[in-house]
Structure 1
Amino acid sequence: MDISTLALECQQQVNPQVIEAIIEIESARLPFALAVVGGQVKQPRSESDAYHKLDALRSAGKSVSAGLMQINTQHFDVGTAIFDPCTNIGFGARLLKDCHDRVKSHYQGASYQEWLERTASCYFSGNFTTGYRLPKGNPYVHRFRVAYARHIHYPKGKKHEND
């Protein structure tokens, strides 16, 4: 699965490199990844196993995040093809776009880098600050900065965005 191509083809709202960085952090590029908020889950090995575990966790009242971009169950209905890479990326892109729009409105005049970081914090926690603090020892925003730097695609001959 080529995440770069999916990040470009499955959505048109967000810089594909941002999508790639979020996927790296959230699921380590595993399309059937599951996470239980405040708990642990054995990772599924197949799509059918992933849907079975997701349904069981939902039925148990757990808050679960699913797929490449770890979309929380509060953001999609039962029956959504959330483990389909394009569907998952589409949901994630809409959440990122919403966060980014809110950041730009709240932090007018901030740098592009600050907007990106606060957008990442919002994606992680629903607000613009928690991602700078949690998880302790390796905050989400720091992990985003590192992952994003790995995914920046510069035109041939350029090394920096401002070159």
Structure 2
Amino acid sequence: MDLITLIATCAPMVAPITMKAIVLEESRGHPYAIHDSKRRRALFPKTREQAIATARELLAAGHRIDAGLAQINSENWEWLGLSPETVFDPCINLAAGERVLVDAYARAPFTVDAAISRYNSGDAERGIRNGYVSRVKAWMPKPPPDRRYEVEDVPLNDYVPTDPVVVGVSLAQDLAADAGPTDQPALAQDPPESNAKPWRFEAVLDGFDGG
């Protein structure tokens, strides 16, 4: 399964162009990518088994890690229902990333930039100041990696898009900015608020429907 199809299947509440850009900034599309926050290094195990073993070892040593396509922070695994055994499944990982992003948008200010900033830093502005949001936007027009992903199960998403919302945002200036990619940053995601409202997360580029 290619990345765009995988996103549409496993993270249907986020526009594929938006989630693709986050994945490319976070992991470059590598399903077993690990960021060791304690030593600030990126690891790329070749197999899922190696990734699971590496994650277990780092966690046992007291390290905080980000894992998988969407680089889900280990401090969030409990409320997302993840473990070293499940976080490297591409579909489960993307579903978790979708949940974090949707919950990030459900906090004021209700903007795409603030949601993407929170995905990176847990703060509505820090991810803008540190350049993360601009880097994500710079990935939006770029093609996904030529990689096929294998998934075991398609997780049932708890969110039901009964009240879809389309968020319009002009990205022309940001897309033109010369913002190159960096190493996978550590995430600082907050748990969701219980009253967070589900919706369909869209980023619309100047007449282009990202969904």
Fold shared per TM-score above 0.5: yes
Alignment of 1:20-35 (within 5 A): 20-35=20-35
Identity %: 31
Instruction: State which drifts further: 12-21 or 52-61.
Output: 12-21
**CA displacement at 1:78 relative to structure 2:** 3.1
Unaligned runs of 5+ in 1: 109-114, 152-158
Q: Secondary structure at the match of 2:101?
A: helix
Matched, 1:86 2:88: no
Aligned length: 143
Q: Deviation string for 1:95-147 (max 9, x for gaps)? A: 00001111xxx236xxxxxx22211111000111111222xxxx101101111
Cα distance in 1 for residues equivalent to 2:85 and 2:50: 15
Match of 1:107 in 2: 109
Contact 1:27–1:33 (CA<8 Å) still a contact in 2?
A: yes
93, 102, 121: which is aligned to 1:97?
102
Which amino acid is 1:119 matched to? A
Matched, 1:14 2:22: no
Q: Secondary structure at the match of 1:54?
A: helix
Match of 2:112 in 1: 116
Once superposed, what is the RMSD of the aligned Cα atoms?
Answer: 2.0
Contact 1:25–1:147 (CA<8 Å) still a contact in 2?
A: yes
Q: Could you state the TM-score of these two structures normalised by the residue count of structure 1?
A: 0.80
Instruction: State which drifts further: 33-42 or 45-54.
Output: 33-42
Which amino acid is 2:32 matched to? F
127, 135, 140: which is aligned to 1:148?
140
Q: Secondary structure at the match of 2:12?
A: coil
Which amino acid is 1:125 matched to? S
Instruction: State which drifts further: 12-21 or 89-98.
Output: 12-21
Cα distance in 2 for residues equivalent to 1:83 and 1:13: 20
Q: Deviation string for 1:19-47 (max 9, x for gaps)? A: 11100000000000000124214321111
Q: Could you state the TM-score of these two structures normalised by the residue count of structure 2?
A: 0.63
Match of 2:65 in 1: 64
Which amino acid is 2:72 matched to? I
Match of 1:75 in 2: 76
Bigger share in helix:
1
Residues 150 and 161 of structure 1: CA distance in aligned 2, closer, same or farther (over 3 Å): farther
